[in-house]
């Protein structure tokens, strides 16, 4: 499928007219700009082909169905008729077809030659979602015929919308104003106004307007001359109520498409390309010696960049990005643990938006703590979080394909590690950047409220003089309601530590702000308790003989069966292995990295020997039923010298979305869509795993674990506001500091530490 000689594009030269293939291609070739995503579908496709323009930060609920993000009407719709016959990849004979996604600037292109009534008709179109004007979609469409032909072009806005649990738009109106097509509506639940406008730049044919079948279209008739190429440009804008101070979304959309039309396609593309060039200058990773890995990694980075929230939006990144409405468009722990590290190391201004999202949804986390249990206090962040931070996850979250019954899961009420994941990310940003503004803006409040939640949740066992964390679900979701999950207990301990460090920092630098915060949330009596709980929290210890840490209390008592043997027990290919009666529940087979996740995230707390013992124990018992799992095993494998295993798991992670071979259903739930957490995991495996990079408040540390096939690995780093380029080989590490850097920073390579001054290049040999 991929042109391996060109490491900046993904392309296919065939069209498969099957529903699942169209769905998967829609994911692979999607474009996005952080404001909205446009699935990689063809111009003539409709809602039946899962055309989706998914908007960030706006959700709607219809009846008793799940709340989910809103899809906008499709302002990119175009269909063509040749001698009265509709031309479509779904029904017309195709002579040649090519579609391409350009990674350098997130531009989608298709070129299809059809055979219609003995004539050849070639359609060529390209589109991009502007990152210069995030509300804007721009399209260039052209066609040519092998013989003189009667052509009808119908292009405009299709408001037959693909929804999983819709329809989400009501009071839908379609109008024409000053030759601009406009569709406006309101969301079903909150009445948020939404408008889509479309303008066209065309210099041929006679035009009339058609408003039928939930489409408002321009119909252009012409007699096309043989061999002549006819082109036109389309400009479509989407605005929702939050985008305008006066809710006049129709005017805003109308104004933008006219502005874009006046500028022209080339100028719009130029402004878009300039900003994409900056993104790649910051974020590209270059692998010398492995084209397959290079393309897969670059595609993964691309997937993260296209969903980077718009500056000032305070939006986060959903677990399925903006590829559709799967997972309710919700924000999970994936964002902090798997996507945030990429941004905070390369593109901190995006990391700020992710953290501000959690600050802005703190009240939702407080409401959840109050509603989910007796006496819980502080912030219990939603497992599935939408715009307010209130819990979107249901108690019955998965359908059983065998019995057709909904299964009770405890993702919502027992995956308590989410609050610590959020708090730790707030502190990590401060450590990496030195910027304390977010702590004062609300990050410190988030941290203290998360620690307060754990202080109310943890159980003090007097006879053992320790705090325990009972009745939880760890990252391994196959086993629910377990006690003292090692990962969760470690997250709780570190959250207490972070809370104490936050208080200490504010006390030393901003004592008045600290006092205001303590008075505001009335937490002074609990801070001393955080110190005690941090010291006395129970952490399962490695077995003195094997070095293995038991994943949770009584895990060893479960049936020790191989993955292969367990899979023989599967009755239905889509059945879920966890929940109450799943086939994995009474076994040691786990869904994804759990203890290994702990040893990856908190790597400096464990020796190489302990990591090795646990990797070798849990790897054969891990089913990898989550896209988050492979990268954790890859990074720990690199850390312990198992670089061949690390490479295989790296490729599994990095190629997940570019190949789109993932499961489409879990139980009865449709799960098709992209996996930005895995994309973040691919970057982390390359930079944290093979390059061996880690950073804290004092220095940047590099302990390389290079894969033998790679000649070098080059990447960029922003640390404490300063910029660096690093190249790692099997023999040396080169650190280049930008001349514009403000100060010298400590770099340590395999134990040798040097301060790197602005404009300096250091060459560490090892």
Write the DSSP string, 568-636: TT-SSTT--S-TTT-TTTTBS-BSS-SHHHHHHHTGGGS-HHHHHHHHHHHGGGB---STTHHHHHHHH
Interhelix angle 608-618/629-639, nearest 10 degrees: 140
CB 660 within 8 A of CB 678: no
Residue among 340, 331, 386, 391 nearest 365 (CA): 391
Residue 665: predicted pLDDT? 66
Q: What is the dihedral of CA 140, 324, 56, 284, to 10 degrees?
A: -70
Q: d(Cα 681, Cα 692) in Å, to the nearest integer?
A: 14
Q: d(Cα 509, Cα 292) in Å, to the nearest integer?
A: 49
Active-site annotation holder among 68, 126, 391, 477: 477
Provide the residue ranges of all domains of the chain, joining segments of one domain with +. 9-281, 284-690, 701-765
Low-confidence spans in the chain with pLDDT less than 70: 1-5, 665-669
Active site residue 559: no
Per CATH, which fold does 9-281 belong to?
A: Beta-galactosidase; Chain A, domain 5 (2.70.98)
Strands 752-756 and 180-187: unpaired
Q: d(Cα 247, Cα 254) in Å, to the nearest integer?
A: 13
Classify domain 284-690 by CATH number. Answer: 1.50.10.10
Q: d(Cα 210, Cα 700) in Å, to the nearest integer?
A: 62
Interhelix angle 629-639/643-654, nearest 10 degrees: 150
Q: Measure the CA angle with vertex 162, ends 156 and 164; round to 5°.
A: 165
Q: Is the peptide bond before 687 cis (omega within 30 degrees of 0)?
A: no
Identify each DSSP E strand in 595-647 by its residue range.
none
Residue 693: predicted pLDDT? 98
- Give me the residue label for tokens 């080989």: 729
Read off the DSSP letter of residue 653.
H
Residue among 457, 301, 481, 458 nearest 368 (CA): 457
Residue 618: predicted pLDDT? 98
Residue 30, φ and ψ in degrees, nearest 5: -65, 150
CB 344 within 8 A of CB 386: no
Classify domain 701-765 by CATH number. Answer: 2.60.420.10
Structure-block tokens of residue 284: 């590209």
- Give the number of other Cβ atoms within 10 Å of residue 282's Cβ: 19
How many CA atoms lie less than 13 Å away from 338 in the CB half-sphere? 34
Task: Give the residues across from 497 on adjacent strands.
Answer: none
3-state secondary structure of 472: strand
DSSP per-residue letters across 317-337:
--TTTTS-SGGGG-B-THIII
Residue 1: predicted pLDDT? 44
Residue among 519, 518, 530, 494 nearest 422 (CA): 494
Q: What is the dihedral of CA 564, 569, 575, 580, to 10 degrees?
A: -110
3-state secondary structure of 360: helix
Confidence (pTM)? 0.96
CB 53 within 8 A of CB 96: no
Sign of the Cα torsion 43, 44, 50, 51 reads positive
Residue 479, φ and ψ in degrees, nearest 5: -115, 110
CA–CA distances in Å: residue 427 to residues 106, 345, 396, 437: 32, 14, 34, 12
| Contacts made by residues 369-378, CB under 8 angstroms, sequence distance 24+ | 369/453, 369/456, 372/412, 372/413, 373/413, 373/457, 375/456, 376/453, 376/456, 376/457, 377/452, 377/453, 377/455, 377/456, 378/419, 378/448, 378/449, 378/450, 378/451, 378/452, 378/453, 378/454, 378/455, 378/456
């Amino acid at each position: 499928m991929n042109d391996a000689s060109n490491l900046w594009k993904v392309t296919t030269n065939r069209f498969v007219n099957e529903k699942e293939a169209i769905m998967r291609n829609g994911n692979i070739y999607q474009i996005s700009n952080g404001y909205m995503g446009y699935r990689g579908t063809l111009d003539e496709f409709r809602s039946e082909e899962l055309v989706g323009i998914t908007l960030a930060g706006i959700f709607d609920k219809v009846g008793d169905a799940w709340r989910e993000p809103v899809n906008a009407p499709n302002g990119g719709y175009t269909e063509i008729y040749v001698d009265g016959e509709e031309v479509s990849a779904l029904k017309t004979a195709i002579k040649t077809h090519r579609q391409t996604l350009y990674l350098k600037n997130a531009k989608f292109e298709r070129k299809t030659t059809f055979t219609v009534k003995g004539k050849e008709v070639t359609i060529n179109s390209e589109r991009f979602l502007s990152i210069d004007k995030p509300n804007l979609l721009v399209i260039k469409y052209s066609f040519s015929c092998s013989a003189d032909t009667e052509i009808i072009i119908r292009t405009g806005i299709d408001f037959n919308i693909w929804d999983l649990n819709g329809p989400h738009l009501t009071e839908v109106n379609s109008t024409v104003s000053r030759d601009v097509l406009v569709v406006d509506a309101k969301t079903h639940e909150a009445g948020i106004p939404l408008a889509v406008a479309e303008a066209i730049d065309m210099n041929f044919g006679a035009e009339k307007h058609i408003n039928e079948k939930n489409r408002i279209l321009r119909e252009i008739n012409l007699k096309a001359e043989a061999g002549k190429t006819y082109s036109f440009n389309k400009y479509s804008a989407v605005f929702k109520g939050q985008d305008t101070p006066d809710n006049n979304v129709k005017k805003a959309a109308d104004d933008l498409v006219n502005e874009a039309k006046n500028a022209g396609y080339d100028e719009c593309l130029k402004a878009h390309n300039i900003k994409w060039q900056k993104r790649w200058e910051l974020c590209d990773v270059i692998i010398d010696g492995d084209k397959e890995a290079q393309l897969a990694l670059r595609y993964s980075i691309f997937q993260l960049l296209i969903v980077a929230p718009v500056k000032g939006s305070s939006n986060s990144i959903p677990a399925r990005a903006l590829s559709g409405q799967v997972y309710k468009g919700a924000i999970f722990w994936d964002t902090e643990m798997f996507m945030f590290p990429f941004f905070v190391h390369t593109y901190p201004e995006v990391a700020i938006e992710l953290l501000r999202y959690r600050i802005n949804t703190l009240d939702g986390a407080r409401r959840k703590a109050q509603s989910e249990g007796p006496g819980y206090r502080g912030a219990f962040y939603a497992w599935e979080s939408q715009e307010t931070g209130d819990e979107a996850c249901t108690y019955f979250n998965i359908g059983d394909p065998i019995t057709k019954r909904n299964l009770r899961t405890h993702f919502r009420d027992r995956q308590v590690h989410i609050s610590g994941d959020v708090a730790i990310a707030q502190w990590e940003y401060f450590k990496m950047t030195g910027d304390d503004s977010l702590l004062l803006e609300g990050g410190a409040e988030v941290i203290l409220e998360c620690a307060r939640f754990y202080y109310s949740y943890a159980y003090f066992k007097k006879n053992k003089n320790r705090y325990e964390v009972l009745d939880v679900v760890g990252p391994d979701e196959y086993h629910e309601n377990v006690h003292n999950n090692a990962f969760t207990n470690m997250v709780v301990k570190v959250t207490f530590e972070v809370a104490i460090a936050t208080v200490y920092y504010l006390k030393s630098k901003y004592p008045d702000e600290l006092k205001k915060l303590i008075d505001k949330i009335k937490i002074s009596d609990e801070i001393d308790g955080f110190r005690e709980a941090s010291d006395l929290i129970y952490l399962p210890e490695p077995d003195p003989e094997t070095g293995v840490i038991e994943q949770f209390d009584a895990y060893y008592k479960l049936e020790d069966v191989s993955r292969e043997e367990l899979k023989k027990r599967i009755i239905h290919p889509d059945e879920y292995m966890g929940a109450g009666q799943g086939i994995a529940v009474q076994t040691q087979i786990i869904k994804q990295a759990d203890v290994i996740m702990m040893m990856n995230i908190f790597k400096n707390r464990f020796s190489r020997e302990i990591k090795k013992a646990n990797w070798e124990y849990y790897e054969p018992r891990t089913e990898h039923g989550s896209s988050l799992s492979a990268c954790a095993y890859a990074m720990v494998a690199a850390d312990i010298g198992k670089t061949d295993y690390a490479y295989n798991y790296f490729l599994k992670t990095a190629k997940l979305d570019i190949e789109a071979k993932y499961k489409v259903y879990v139980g009865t739930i449709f799960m098709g869509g992209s996996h930005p957490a895995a994309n973040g995991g691919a970057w982390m495996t390359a930079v944290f795993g093979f390059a061996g990079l880690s950073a804290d408040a004092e220095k940047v540390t590099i302990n390389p674990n290079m894969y033998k096939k790679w000649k070098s690995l080059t990447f960029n780093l922003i640390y404490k506001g300063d910029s660096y380029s690093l190249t790692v080989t099997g023999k040396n590490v080169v650190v280049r500091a930008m001349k514009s850097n403000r100060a010298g920073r400590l770099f340590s390579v395999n134990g040798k530490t040097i301060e790197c001054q602005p404009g300096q290049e250091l060459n560490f040999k090892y």
